[in-house]
Structures are given as C-alpha cells and as structure tokens.
Structure 1
Amino acid sequence: MLAPFLIMLREGLEAALIVGIIAGYLRQTGRSAWLPAVWTGIFLAIALALFVGAALQFVSASFPQKAQELFEATIGIFAVCVLLAMVFWMRRVARSLKHELYSSIDHALAASGGRAATYGLICMVFFAVAREALESIFFLLAVFQQSRDPAGPFGALLGVLVSAGAGWAIYAGALRLNLARFFRWTGVFILFVAAGLLAGSVKALHEAGLWNHLQTVVYDFSHVLPESSPLGTVLSGLLGYRDAPTLGEVLAYVLFLTVTLYLFLRPMSPAPALRPAESRSDA
C-alpha cells in the first residue's frame, strides 16, 4: 500500500503542481476565462490513461503463462526507464519549471486567438497531465504485478486524493511546500522502487525462459520473512524485497542503485558564467 501511495502522491503532485501553476498564472493575468480549457485538458488526459491501463490489463489477461511473465518483465523494464527519465527530468527543470510554463502559456495564447488558442492551451495541459498519468499507469501495473498487496489500489487512490488536495492548497496559497526537498527525497524512494522493479523483471525474464544465467540463490529468508507475510508484502512493494533472490536479481538491484543514487544525489553543476566580453556583446 505504501509504495503505490507514495508513487501516486509524487506523480499526482507533479501534475497538480503544473496545473496549479498554469491556472494560477491565468488567474493572476486576468485570463480566468481560459480555465475551462485547463479542465478539458485534464479530463482528456485522465481518460486516455484509464483507457491505456484497461487495454493493457485486458490484453495481458489472455496471455499464456510464459507470455504473461514476458509481459510483466517488459512492463517492469519500461516502468524503470520512465521512472528514471521522470526523476532526472524533475531534478533538472525544477528551478526553471514555472518560468517555462509561463512562457508556454503566453506563446499559446498570443500566437493566435479564439478557437486555435483554446486548442493550444488544451493540448498544453493535456500533454503535461497525460505524461504523469501514463507514467502512473505503467508504475502501478508493474508494482501490482510484482507485489500482490490487496491494499495497493486503495493506497494508489489515497495518493491521488492527497496530491489533488495538496495541489489545490498550493494553488489557493494555503500550503507552502519545500518542493525541492520533497522531490529530492521522493526521488530517492522511487529509485529504490525502480531497483526492485528491475530485479523483479530479471526474475520474470527467467520464468519466461529468456534469462537462465546467475541463478544461484544468494540467501533464503522464506521461512523467516516470506514475501507473502504482511511485512514481506510491504517491503516487497516498497523496496523490492525478495525472500530468496538469485545472484542476477541481487546484482541488478545493487548495481542499479549504486549508479542512479550517485548520479541523482551528486551536486548539480552551476550554469557557466558569461565572460565579460560576451556580457558586453549581449548588452
């Protein structure tokens, strides 16, 4: 339950933050008449994500066992790639996100008027929210396939509701959140989730008959802390815990975390300063 909750809280807050910045800027600049276009983009993005999730679930249900394992591995690896892209993208653009959104809004509304401007704003919101919504669908599919936590869907729904409430509070000015710190620490958590998904995908590839190397069991805690136990279920969904992992799964988990945590936590290099000659020529 905790992993789906935190994933949806972060994803939902990212989407709510973007929508809140757009809606707040429209209100501050006296363009509140465009807010229905914002809602239209949100609803279209949510509808697309629900359709994609239902389609993937429907298609996978008819697969034979080995094909289902391959599908699980594919979804898991894809989710890991998207998680990485999302975490490092937010790390890179967090400081300039508001300025970029303001510029995009001005461009969308000033380039043309009337219906074309409405469609431009709808598309802007749609793509911003659809990105987060589709990411969430793939994350949840991967997590639910690898961790059979019956409370997982409830945790995901709770994360969406909390993020929606936090987004509205930020938009209304009732909540001040240190977003840099929030995204930094949830980013670290998501890297642990991604490492677990990658290790689970290695296991699924073996069960699909496509990976038969490094199958020595490193340790066996199945009698002490089985994955099916309440604590094992939480650790499985949260940190990718396996009660009897193979060497391949452990190596994938440890190497992935070592590289990604180093890249994510290292200080960002400051933007290069202009030389005096360049500054005078720009002036």
Structure 2
Amino acid sequence: MLANYLIGLREGLEAGLIVGILIAYLGKIERRDLFGRLWFGIGIAVAISLGVGAILTWGPYALSFQAQEILGGTLSIVAVALVTWMIFWMGTHGAGLSKELRGQVDAAVDRSWFAIVLLGALAVGREGIETALFVWANVAGGSDPVLGTTGAVLGILTAVAISWGISRGLVRFNLSVFFTWTGLFLVLVAAGVLAYGIGDLQEASVIPGWGEPAFSLVAAVPPGSWYGTLLGGIFNFTPEPTWAQAIGWLGYVAITTALYLGMLQQRTTPTTPTPTPTPTSTPIRSNT
C-alpha cells in the first residue's frame, strides 16, 4: 500500500503542478475564457486513465493462462520503462517546467480552440496513464489488490489537497527534495516490478529458468512473516528469485541508481563560466 500511495502522491503532484501552472498562466494573460476548454481536456485525460486501468484489470480474464502471463510480464516491463523515463524526465525538466508549459500555452492559444483541449489532455493524460499502468503492475505482484489500489487513490487525493494548498499559498515544502527522494524509492519499487514481470515471462516459457531459484532467503525472510509481507507488498520481494529475476533486479538497481545520482550531481554542481580572453593590443612600432 505504501508504494502505491507514494506513486499516486508523486504522479498526482506532478499533474497538480502542471494544471496549476496552466491555469495561472491563462489567468495572467487574461484568457480565463479558455478555462472550460482546459478542464475539458483534463477530464478527457482522467477518463482515458480510468479506462486504461479498467482494461488492465478486467481485460486479461478472457485470455489463456500463458497469454495472461505474457501480457502481464510485457506490461510490467513497459511500466518499468515508463516510470524510469518519468523519474529522469522530472529530474531534468523540473526546473524549466513552468517556462516550457507557458510556451505550449502560447502556441496553443495562437492555434484553434481544440489546441487548448489537446494540451490539457496530453499534459495530464501522460501522468494518468503512467500511474494506471505502474500501479496495476505493482498491484498484480502484490497479495492484496484492494489495499494497493486504495493506497494509490489515497495518494492521488493527498496530492490534490497539497496542490490546492500550494496554489493558495497554504502549503510550502521543498518539491525538489521530495521528487529526489521519491525518485530513489521508485527505483527500488520499479526493480521489484521488473523482477515480477520477468517471472511472468518465465512462467509462460518465454524466458527459460522458471522454477530454478538462484538462492533462498526463506529462512531469513519467511513469506508469512510481517516483514516478508511488507517487503512483498512494497517492493515485490520474493525470497526465492530465479537467476533471471536476480540479475534483472540487481542490474536495474545498479545502472539506474548510478545514472540517477550522476544526473543529480550534475544538476547541483555549479558551472563556472569560462572567462572570455581579452584581446591584447600589439604596439605598432615605427620604422622611422
């Protein structure tokens, strides 16, 4: 539940900040008449996100077991790719997000009325579809889908409340620090989803090695223990991973964490401007 809560909170905050920037800028340029179109586009994005979640939840039941495993494994890997892209995108574009969105609003205002609807749908729909896919992938590997889904909904509602408080000046906190630490947390969550997806593909005989554990941590982390249940619910932890799952988990965590920390270090390291060389004048010598 905690993992899905933080996923809903983070994605909801991103969407809330985007909506707040768009509304504030339309008000600043005195185009409040476009609010209705913007909210219509946002409504379309929410409906599409809910539709994606419904299809992921009930659609696979008509498939065979092998097809369900292949679909589940593939979508889990796609979810990991999307959330990884989201983590790095927010880290590199967060500082200039407001300027980028204002430019998109200016371009949309100069076009047809539908451009504002499309801008609202795309800006929020990306976050909504990412949330639906990643929460589904995380819930699919957990033991309590209802609890996991409830956590995501609570996270989104919390994000809505925080976004409203920020827009009214009632809530102040360091968003950069929040996104940095939740990004590191989501790397571990995504690694668990990746391992789960690999396991699905192994069960479907797409990847060999199912039923051959690389090692066993059952003695240290019994599946029925409270901490085993907690680790399984948050990180999709399995005490007996296959070699493919173990290698996939370790490789993803090592590579993604190294790249993420490198990006953060590059972002926080101040760049020293290169001094411009001053031209030196060569004295003109007279031959007289």
Same fold (TM over 0.5): yes
Structure 1 unpaired stretches of 5+: 278-283
Partner of 1:146: 141
Partner of 2:283: none
Structure 2 unpaired stretches of 5+: 278-288
Q: In angstroms, what is the RMSD of aligned CA positions?
A: 2.2
Aligned residue for 1:236, secondary structure, equals helix
Pairing of 1:1-283 with structure 2 (within 5 A) = 1-109=1-109, 111-112=110-111, 116=112, 118-149=113-144, 150-213=146-209, 216-222=212-218, 225-227=221-223, 229-266=225-262, 267-268=265-266
- Closer, same or farther: CA 141–255 of 1 in aligned 2, 3 Å: same
In structure 2, what is the Cα distance between the partners aligned to 1:136 and 1:164? Answer: 15
- Closer, same or farther: CA 68–122 of 1 in aligned 2, 3 Å: same
- What stretches of structure 1 move > 6 A for 4+ residues in a row? none
Contact kept, 8 Å, 1:2 with 1:234, in 2: the verdict is no
The alpha carbon displacement at 1:213 in A equals 3.6
- Once the two structures are superposed, what CA deviation does each residue of 1:44-98 show, in whole Å capped at 9, x if it has no partner? 1010111122223332011121211111101110001101111111111011111
The alpha carbon displacement at 1:153 in A equals 1.4
Counterpart amino acid of residue 114 in structure 2: Y
The alpha carbon displacement at 1:276 in A equals 5.0
TM-score by length of 1: 0.89
In structure 2, what is the Cα distance between the partners aligned to 1:192 and 1:29? Answer: 42
Aligned residue for 1:268, secondary structure, equals helix
TM-score by length of 2: 0.87
Contact kept, 8 Å, 2:5 with 2:151, in 1: the verdict is yes
Partner of 1:280: none
The alpha carbon displacement at 1:36 in A equals 1.7
Contact kept, 8 Å, 1:147 with 1:233, in 2: the verdict is no
- Once the two structures are superposed, what CA deviation does each residue of 1:157-187 show, in whole Å capped at 9, x if it has no partner? 1001001111111122221221111111111
In structure 2, what is the Cα distance between the partners aligned to 1:130 and 1:203? Answer: 29
Between the two proteins, what is the percent identity of the paired residues?
Answer: 34
In structure 1, what is the Cα distance between the partners aligned to 2:97 and 2:224? Answer: 42
Counterpart amino acid of residue 125 in structure 1: G
Contact kept, 8 Å, 1:22 with 1:102, in 2: the verdict is yes
- Once the two structures are superposed, what CA deviation does each residue of 1:236-277 show, in whole Å capped at 9, x if it has no partner? 232231121122211111111011001001122677968859
Contact kept, 8 Å, 1:42 with 1:126, in 2: the verdict is yes
Higher Cα Rg, which structure: 2
Aligned residue for 2:90, secondary structure, equals helix
Aligned residue for 1:147, secondary structure, equals coil
Counterpart amino acid of residue 219 in structure 1: F
In structure 2, what is the Cα distance between the partners aligned to 1:31 and 1:227? Answer: 57
- Closer, same or farther: CA 120–274 of 1 in aligned 2, 3 Å: farther
In structure 2, what is the Cα distance between the partners aligned to 1:40 and 1:228? Answer: 47
In structure 2, what is the Cα distance between the partners aligned to 1:225 and 1:75? Answer: 28
Aligned residue for 2:178, secondary structure, equals helix
- Once the two structures are superposed, what CA deviation does each residue of 1:139-169 show, in whole Å capped at 9, x if it has no partner? 0111111112241111011001001111111
- Once the two structures are superposed, what CA deviation does each residue of 1:16-53 show, in whole Å capped at 9, x if it has no partner? 01001111222233332322222111111010111122
Contact kept, 8 Å, 2:199 with 2:210, in 1: the verdict is no
In structure 2, what is the Cα distance between the partners aligned to 1:238 and 1:20? Answer: 30
Q: Could you tell which deviates more after superposition, 26-35 or 128-137? A: 26-35
The alpha carbon displacement at 1:195 in A equals 0.6
Q: Could you tell which deviates more after superposition, 69-78 or 48-57? A: 48-57
